């Protein structure tokens, strides 16, 4: 079954600490993975996608096919990073985006 798992509902860190939001997926085939961010009361915004291998707002994510993971990392968290983060897998011939349950990141001063 195709599935995205984000094991942590809440991740609480202090400003300047490293952050790793975990994402594991289950998919037969070559996955296309995304991270979306949702700031308080706002729409979901694309943060980054694995195909681009980019760094956005200091965040990076590397696809590890062996561990079926796509963890999101940032070396030094900022208070403005506090938000809900969703990992998503594109499936079904590009017709379906399967989301994880989300992880709330809280960065404290």
Partner 1 sequence: EAQVTQNPRYLITVTGKKLTVTCSQNMNHEYMSWYRQDPGLGLRQIYYSMNVEVTDKGDVPEGYKVSRKEKRNFPLILESPSPNQTSLYFCASRADSKNQPQHFGDGTRLSIL
Residues near partner 1 (CB under 8 A):
6, 9, 32, 34, 36, 42-46, 49, 51, 86, 94-102
Cα separation, 17 vs 21, in Å, equals: 13
Q: How far is the CB of 49 from partner 1 (least distance, A)?
A: 6
Select 44 or 75, whichever has its Cβ closest to partner 1: 44
Cα separation, 79 vs 59, in Å, equals: 14
Beta-ladder partners of 38: 84
Q: How far is the CB of 38 from partner 1 (least distance, A)?
A: 9
Select 52 or 78, whichever has its Cβ closest to partner 1: 52
Q: Which residue has the tokens 């490293």?
A: 18
Q: How far is the CB of 85 from partner 1 (least distance, A)?
A: 11
Cα separation, 33 vs 47, in Å, equals: 11
């Amino acid at each position: 079954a195709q599935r995205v798992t984000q094991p942590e509902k809440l991740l609480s860190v202090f400003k300047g600490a490293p952050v790793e939001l975990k994402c594991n997926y289950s998919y037969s085939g070559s996955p296309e993975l995304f991270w979306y961010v949702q700031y308080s009361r706002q729409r979901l915004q694309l943060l980054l996608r694995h195909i681009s291998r980019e760094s956005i707002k200091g965040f990076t994510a590397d696809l590890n096919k062996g561990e079926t993971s796509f963890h999101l990392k940032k070396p030094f968290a900022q208070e403005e990073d506090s938000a809900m983060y969703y990992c998503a897998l594109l499936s079904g011939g590009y017709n379906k985006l399967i989301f994880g349950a989300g992880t709330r990141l809280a960065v404290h001063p």
